[in-house]
Structure 1
Amino acid sequence: MPELPEVETVRRGLAPVMEGARIERLELNRPDLRFPLPENFAQAVTGRRIVSLGRRAKYLLIELEDDLTIVAHLGMSGSFRIEDDVMGDFHHPRSKDRKHDHVVFHLQGPKGPLRVIYNDPRRFGFMHIWKRSELDLYPAFAELGPEPTGNALSEAYLAARFANRSQPLKSALLDQTVVAGLGNIYVCEALWRAHLSPKRTAGSVVTMTGRPKKELLLLTTAIREVIADAIAAGGSSLRDHIQTDGSLGYFQHSFSVYDQEGKPCRTPDCGGMVARITQAGRSTFYCPACQR
């Protein structure tokens, strides 16, 4: 499933053509994705201008005028592509089989008409409509923690959330109420950069008085850096993820531990080998030699 960097990459790819454009028509080729599409979806958005494209955790936010927002989730295989509506030529290679084109935004932008097409072979994605002024009340957002890219994520904040917790550090970081949008890949990579074992308890990086230890400062920095590096690389192209221009993300070529089982650790002079364990039913990759 696409993680935060992949969704942010999609947002950045769509923003130049969608922001400021008007929705001339919304074409729905089926009534549902993972869930039924919103009632009167096409009528609700037709004629409205797209104010901006945002993101919350792993959700894409298409913000419209008149206080409306389309909340979109890519699921396992969802992707967007951009098609020129005048010449009929694709700006970029087609990303998916057209039979899986389920939602088509017919837009009128500054440079003329175009289409933005949502394609989803597995149909695990979804779209909802919500008031922009009430996004904090959207069920999936109500208890989300701060973004890993924002100033709200600090070692002091994490210390308050981790204090006295016996939960494994990796599981605590995957808790979306602690940090929004962090997924399995980037938690593994951040823990490796901070040289912290995914098996140690969350409370072990906090002092008895509730202050962050040096390890937590390193971890907070590592989280910010790994997310920034992944966004700069266009995310990771695992299984179905693809960018809006049909190209692939390249951060998977920089994985230090994720999916690197049995390979030498990249930490200089470490000499350890990357191992895989299972935590809460999910694979965890780490170096037992240098992650303590």
Structure 2
Amino acid sequence: MSTLNRSTKKDASPAQLQVSIPLTMIRSALFSVALKGERAVRKRIDVEDGPLGVRIDYTGPHLNQDHFKAWQAVVHLANERGGLRGDQFVVPVTDVMRSVGQNYRDHDQRARMWRLLSDLTEANVDLCSSRSKYRAPLVFSVLHEEASGKMAIRLNPDLAQLLSDEVLQNDMLRVLGFGRNQIAIWLHNYYASHKTPPGMPVSELQRLCGTSLDLPRFRQRLRGALDRLKTGVRPLLLSWSIDENDVVRVEKIPTQVKLLPVAAREKMEVGRRHANAAQAAASSRAQVVL
């Protein structure tokens, strides 16, 4: 699902590293902008009211945008190594760290990455929309061998179906450019997932992103985050404003969103069920050793 697109023109923009991310997850407070929060038990997640008809119940540790970047990296690496259908795949920890813009040589950053990935194995999502369903942890398992510097990671095979439709082809490098600015990352993903972003009250953005800030403080941080989205190598936003009714309006560059026609989706689902059955039989006979 991730592709590295390099232009051959001398004056072209830098390479884009893209990864498929479900719209249902980034138009919600599943990955919050609050750095810390309480562990959830069957918590109903705030989601965007719209045609996707999304419902998300969540049990597990509090997730923020650092967890999102770690999960995005795992999905990208799984796609590169054929792990999207539930096969366990082995990857150097250095590759994981680079995919989130961190330094492998920094012990604290490595320990933090391990905590993020461990949280994702406990992050149980019960999601359904008008087009898809997913009920499993975000990451099925992670094994880490310090001596070899490698990780063995496994995703749930149902994730492949979730990533085949109703997704944003997210610009990973642009997201990494926001550092740990939680609101900027969330806004980027939310606005990138819309062809033409709707005008949105500040209070609704406050609800959807899961912030713990009150409205005046959130509005102040929001302005700074929107400015960040106009900067960098490939700015997402061309302009933004907050009108007299406290509604945020933005103009953005084109982004890629995938929504399959119903007939094509049904055909793909039949093929997926056959592939999963064969994969389950093969996985029962195979074991990855670090």
TM-score between both structures, scaled by the size of structure 1: 0.23
Larger Rg: 1
Higher relative contact order (CA 8 A, sep 6+): 2
TM-score between both structures, scaled by the size of structure 2: 0.23
Larger helix proportion, structure 1 or 2?
2
